[in-house]
Amino acid sequence: MQIKQAQQLWQPHEGWLNTASYGLPPDPAWAALQEALAGWRTGNMGVTGEGWDEAQARTRAAFARLVGVPEPDVAIGSAASQLFAPVAAALPAGATVLVPEVEFTSNLFPWLAQEQRGVRVRTVPLAGLVDAIDADTDLVAFSLVQSADGAVARYADIVAAARAHDALVAVDATQACGWLPFDAALADVVVLAAYKWLLAPKGTALAYYAPELRERMRPDAAGWYAGADPLTSLYGPPLRLADSARRFDIAPAWFSYIGAAPALELLLQVGVPAIHAHNVALANRFRAGLGLPPGDSAITTAEVPEAQSRLERAGLRAAVRAGRVRVSFHLYSSEDDVDRALTALTG
């Protein structure tokens, strides 16, 4: 599917420049969610929500294709920090975790929460992350794209340095997956919240857990949905969990996954490389209009006096992060959106 064809499947108000805060649903996702809400209201979703379960399976499969990993290595949840938590709990006492100093806390607090066991968290500037990896590093945790300013991490270089020191690699891909092509299998764990660039409702989160890493992890949050066969795991012992990454699932937020499946499948139809080219071109058009050099991200920040109030007066929606206005462009964004923002900021 071509970009222009796909853009007909959105109904945004003009001036939405804030996908880095939350993405907008395409029509198929919105329609599926409305149908599910109607079925819930009238009791027509089945006795155990069979149709809802199909949606999580479709979401899991689409995510596996998007990031290039086997479907059995994918777990589902509701928040990024929840999916990082069992990895953090599996670190040996006294382990050292290396994190960029301005890391979003979903990929920071789970490691800090282990400090009572002697786990040490060391922070360094993102630009110095590769050089800071040493023999004392047990795990490197970082966002593939930084939430605060859109900086794209040196993924391959970080992984290579970590492997040279036998360190694990934990990636938060929340601000990357859906527009930035990358190979999740290079890392040991890749986690994301899907309500941003994957255009899913809030309450959807996905994780790739490498098989070797899963052997170290304990499914402390296991419930019926982590069972080898969830519908026969409703009552009584013994413990009978899935052999795959599904043993780390929590029961999905049904409505959220109803909306997620069509959104991720649409992204697959368009293709992440095409979306990447579209998004970065718009971001660089914006940067050029402000006299900034081109970048490699769909997220751009800028220091412009009264920038946010100027955008708001023009009916444009963006965000302020780390003291700078942050704009972000996705599949449904257009050159008109960019030009309106430039007029507001430079006029």
Query: Which band of pLDDT confidence, cut at 50, 70 and 90, is reported for residue 322?
Result: confident
| Cα 47 to Cα 45: distance, rounded to the nearest angstrom | 7
Q: In terms of C-beta density within 10 A (0-12 exposed, 13-18 middle, 19 or more buried), how is residue 320 classed? A: exposed
Q: Could you read off the pLDDT of 202-230 as tens digits, one per residue?
A: 999 999 999 999 999 999 999 999 999 98
Q: Are 210 and 189 in contact (CB under 8 A)?
A: yes
Amino acid at 159: V
| Cα 60 to Cα 184: distance, rounded to the nearest angstrom | 14
Strand 189-193 relative to strand 205-209: parallel, antiparallel, unpaired?
A: antiparallel
| Cα 268 to Cα 278: distance, rounded to the nearest angstrom | 15
Q: In terms of C-beta density within 10 A (0-12 exposed, 13-18 middle, 19 or more buried), how is residue 76 classed? A: buried
* CATH 3.40.640.10 applies to domain 50-268: yes
pTM of the model: 0.94
pLDDT of residue 50: 55
Rounded-to-10 torsion of CA 46, 52, 53, 57: 150
As given in the structure block, the two tokens for residue 68 are 């290039």
For the chain, give every domain's residue range: 3-26+271-346, 50-268
| Cα 111 to Cα 95: distance, rounded to the nearest angstrom | 10
For the cut 80, the answer to whether the pLDDT of residue 57 exceeds it is yes
Mean pLDDT, rounded, for 81-95:
97
Q: What is the Cα 253 distance to its own chain's centre?
A: 17
Q: Which CATH superfamily is domain 3-26+271-346 in?
A: Aspartate Aminotransferase, domain 1 (3.90.1150.10)
Q: Could you read off the pLDDT of 291-316 as tens digits, one per residue?
A: 999 999 999 999 888 888 888 888 99
For the cut 80, the answer to whether the pLDDT of residue 51 exceeds it is no
